[in-house]
Amino acid sequence: MPVFTYLVSNIGETLDVNRFEIPDKNELEEMVSLFNQFKGSKFNFLSPSKRCKIQSIERFAPNKHWSVDRWWSKEEKIHLGIEEETTEVSQEEFYDLLVESHNDLEGILNKGQDLLKIETQAVELTSFREINLGDETYFKLKIGKRILKKDLFENRNNPKAQVPLFSANVFKTFGYLEKSNIKSFDNPYIIWGIDGHFELTYKPAGEIFATTDHCGTIEILDRNIDPEYLLYQLNIKKYEYGFDRELRSNMENVSSIVIDIPITEDGSFDINTQQTLLANSMHIINLQNQIKTLNEKLAFISAYHVNPK
């Protein structure tokens, strides 16, 4: 008895929360068409598609597996774009890559030790003042308004819809509107996603944007508070406060966050020291990114097929 099998990679819609239609990338349509042809003549059907294979019922072993994709070879999956081609290297090239990675790691460690000394000395010589995000002298916190998915869909071809909209994912535009829910852009903003793990980003003064009810804004009212320093401190605080899908970063919880701001001898906010500490911290973040890149490189090396010849 022949059995119809088909490998599907695209289902005709984006794989994010929006689920927008992508009509030209819907393999389900071909699958349905071929399956209907197969039903009409199961024993004579010949598949014209590389994604479709007719298997014998005897190949199916319920006690082992039902993973039909195992019956496509690696070369076939590479041709279909399902898998990437494996890179082959010689033993000498493999060990050269390992030595190169070792040298990269040694350089990161040496830089890290120097930066740690500088950072420690700078913090020891600095005085700080604690301020609360709920203090309206320095900050104004708000939540955006609800936006329906159908409104965004209708705005896709609207030339007047130029204002980028942000929602729970503050790093990716959720859509575009004709008008922002925010009245003034004279001050810089930090925006955060209410759902999830308190992801944040920075919007400089003058940059126009809009927010949904899944996105909060922190307007910085004091020009002596560096927004990028505040962003860095909040990224540290999210681990301290443990915001996630259970402990939501709603208005009440975010307004209770306490931040340490460097001050001068007269007690005013010291923006120069904020920027110095931020620069040192950015060097640390750069090292972290180098470590991440090195990890990716090592993962790539581990995927090599080493030819013993």
Looking at the fold, whether 225 and 166 belong to one and the same domain comes out as: yes
Q: In this structure, what token pair is assigned to residue 272? A: 């120069």
Residues in the chain: 309
Domain C-terminal end among 80, 111, 143: 80
Residue position matching structure tokens 């090239």: 93
Looking at the fold, whether 65 and 139 belong to one and the same domain comes out as: no
Looking at the fold, whether 173 and 259 belong to one and the same domain comes out as: yes
Q: What is the pLDDT of residue 205?
A: 96
Residue 220 near residue 234 (C-beta atoms within 8 A): no
Q: What is the pLDDT of residue 184?
A: 95
Residue 175 near residue 165 (C-beta atoms within 8 A): yes
Tens of pLDDT, residue by residue over 159-181, are: 888 999 999 999 999 999 999 99
- Residue 187 belongs to some domain of the structure: yes
| Separation of alpha carbons 63 and 260, rounded Å | 60
| Separation of alpha carbons 128 and 106, rounded Å | 34
Give the dihedral sign, CA 220/276/193/211. positive
- Residue 42 belongs to some domain of the structure: yes
Q: What are phi and psi of 54, to 5 degrees?
A: -100, 120
Tens of pLDDT, residue by residue over 275-301, are: 888 887 777 667 667 777 777 777 766
Q: What is the pLDDT of residue 229?
A: 93
pTM of the shown model: 0.57
Burial profile 35-71: b = 16 or more Cβ within 10 angstroms, e = fewer? eebbeeeeeebeeeeebbbeeeeeeeeeeeeeebeee
Looking at the fold, whether 163 and 259 belong to one and the same domain comes out as: yes
- Residue 308 belongs to some domain of the structure: no
- Residue 117 belongs to some domain of the structure: no
The phi-psi region of residue 198 (left if phi > 0; otherwise alpha if psi is between -120 and 50; otherwise beta) is left
Residue type, 193: G
Q: What are phi and psi of 256, to 5 degrees?
A: -90, -5
Query: Can you give the CATH number for the domain in which 138 is found?
Result: 3.90.220.20
**Helices (DSSP H) in 54-163: which residue ranges?**
74-80, 91-124, 149-155
Nearest to 127 by CA among 276, 283, 269, 258: 269
Give the dihedral sign, CA 267/223/191/229. negative
Q: What is the pLDDT of residue 58?
A: 85
The domain in which residue 20 lies consists of 2-80
The total number of structural domains in the chain stands at 2
Q: What is the pLDDT of residue 125?
A: 66
Looking at the fold, whether 132 and 262 belong to one and the same domain comes out as: yes
Looking at the fold, whether 16 and 131 belong to one and the same domain comes out as: no
Q: What is the pLDDT of residue 301?
A: 67
Q: What is the pLDDT of residue 190?
A: 96
Report CA-CA distances (Å) from 125 to 26, 122, 160, 256, 267: 61, 5, 52, 27, 15
Q: Return the H-helix or E-strand segment holding 52.
A: strand 52-56
Looking at the fold, whether 54 and 133 belong to one and the same domain comes out as: no
- Residue 23 belongs to some domain of the structure: yes
Which residue ranges in the chain fall short of pLDDT 50?
none
| Separation of alpha carbons 197 and 309, rounded Å | 49
